Structure 1
């Protein structure tokens, strides 16, 4: 299998815990054909995370591998450069992480709907305010609801209107919302240049 380091830009603060689905439900089979489940060894430790297919040969996350497209495996759209996700917008996160802060990882894809918050909501959270950057990050998850992404789903997409607008990044250690998602739109040029460069290397 051809593996290549693609994206580590999750902007994780030290000791941040990433990615499980809390307060969600099991996804309908094949309803999220862009989702990728990745397992790999890093510095001798077996790890796993989520990701999403943006082209048949690119999974946007920490790893990249060629995918065979079919009815159950399809890429998701990337945002346009000027796209903005406004507060109040309801988006979706999916993954195979834990379903409770101290629970086990799920063996089926889980998903949850999250409401995008104003930047100030993350900026005033004790654990988030030191690291949150509104220019490159999205704040999502209603603090009044027990719905969030957390441990095990880092790298998965925040999907708004069938477009991957964010990447699961980090949040409070106890798994409570709101949580932080990297803005895909801010890295579009880098993503496209990387894919183009890879394509040229493949044809040479």
Structure 2
């Protein structure tokens, strides 16, 4: 009888409810995304979290709105709450390079590079990922993947997870993300809103990976799971990224 009740409850839950989603996703196979970075951000007496991607031995790509007073990067992590993990690398950020024209109100130019205090040790659990080049075409309907340690239940900040989760989404037409603050070319529109699949709060800064490259950075994930998310277009900022990585 108890099993029958549990099955009925699970069946009656709305899409995206309960454990198991980034929004509408699943737990990633441990260390299958070796480029993923977990960011612990200090802001006064509070700690915030974001995602990122290791794009060079000493640089992590993330969102400009993930900046803080200090940031610690964790690489090679799957369960961020695991006290001891010999595969995990904990590295302080020595310099933050948010885009000079980032605007919090509109989220325009929401991109940032983090220079690590020491280079990451690359191995099977920690690897870099290539980025999209300038003006690289990304056709609508392209299948992509997003991952993160953010919320699993829309609107519930307490639903953040300790284990990396992922979900597959697709690139959508710009008009699907049309709003007062959506800027074509600078941004990408992606998700599977009809299935409740998208990035959520806490996934900010994580990579939108399409064709084995970082094509976008999570900027504005859906707060409801029913609208597509907005991603900063890496291709548009390719020159800015290269120039910034050369800075002392």
TM-score, length-scaled by structure 2: 0.67
Give the alignment partner of residue 64 of structure 1, picking from 93, 115, 132.
115
The two structures, once aligned, show a CA RMSD in angstroms of: 1.5
For the pair 1:46 / 2:96, whether they are aligned, the reply is: no
How much has 1:117 moved relative to structure 2?
Answer: 0.5
> In the alignment, which residue of structure 2 is the partner of 1:4?
none
Q: C-alpha distance in 2, partners of 1:105/1:134? A: 30
Which of 220, 223, 229 in structure 2 is aligned with 1:170? 220
Deviates more, 1:136-145 or 1:88-97: 136-145
Is 1:91 aligned to 2:148, yes or no? Answer: no
Spell out, residue by residue over 1:34-84, the C-alpha distance to the aligned partner (whole angstroms, 9 max, x if none).
000010212442111000000000001244323221110001001111212
Q: Which is further off, 41-50 or 168-177? A: 168-177
Q: Is residue 106 of structure 1 aligned with residue 134 of structure 2? A: no
1:29 is displaced (CA, Å) by 1.2
Counterpart for residue 142 of structure 1:
192
Larger radius of gyration: 2
d(CA) in 1 for partners of 2:150, 2:223: 15
Contact 1:140–1:177 (CA under 8 A) maintained in structure 2: no
Measure, in 2, the Cα distance between the counterparts of 1:143 and 1:91: 14
Q: Which has the higher contact order (CA 8 A, sep 6+)?
A: 1
